[in-house]
Amino acid sequence: MLTGSCHCGRLHWRFDTWPDGATLCNCTICRRYGVLWIYGHEGEDVALTGDSHIYKTSSGWLEFHFCPDCGCIAAWRGVHLQKDGRRRLAVNLRLSEDQDIIRPIPLDLFDGLDSFTDLSRDGRTVGDVIM
């Protein structure tokens, strides 16, 4: 299990499984936030707790949850349910206190700016992008 919280501790997330990878996306919002996403399904393997403010994208597909006090981006949540009735929830791995534990997680590169496709892994891990 991995956990994370915003800087002030008001907003927390829990990830109950080990992630296959952490996504580094270059879309117009993710590159501004500087996040590393790990994905699950709300109420199954990932949870977000605490009060958050929400920014909903103009497309209406995603809402981003951030702390109203310290401003840290903690998660994105799918606005609509998937066909199987589940809801996607991604949490920001950069908020984990377990920096040494998460270092070996492979980086998944996603081109969210131009092609909206997964790119090939290049051998880098989370440890290569966190200081």
* Structural domain boundaries, residue 117: 2-128
Please say if the pLDDT value at position 56 is more than 80: yes
Indicate the pLDDT class of residue 58, thresholds 50, 70 and 90. confident
pTM above the 0.85 mark?
A: yes
Q: Which two tokens stand for residue 62?
A: 């995603």
Stretch 43-65: mean pLDDT: 94
Domain count for the chain, please give it.
1
Q: Centre a 10 Å sphere on the Cβ of residue 18 and count the other Cβ atoms it contains.
A: 11
pLDDT number for residue 76: 97
- The sheet that has 62-66: what strands, in order across it? 53-56, 62-66, 73-78, 88-92, 37-41, 22-25, 107-111, 117-118
Specify whether the CB–CB gap between 36 and 105 falls below 8 A. Answer: no
- In the chain the first and final C-alpha atoms are separated, in Å, by 22
- How does pLDDT run across 13-27, given as a tens digit for each residue? 999 999 999 999 999
- CATH number of the structural domain spanning residue 32: 2.170.150.70
If pLDDT is split at 50, 70 and 90, which confidence band does 66 have?
very high
Q: How many CA atoms lie within 13 A of 75 on its CB side?
A: 28
Decide: 40 and 89 in contact? Cβ < 8 Å. yes
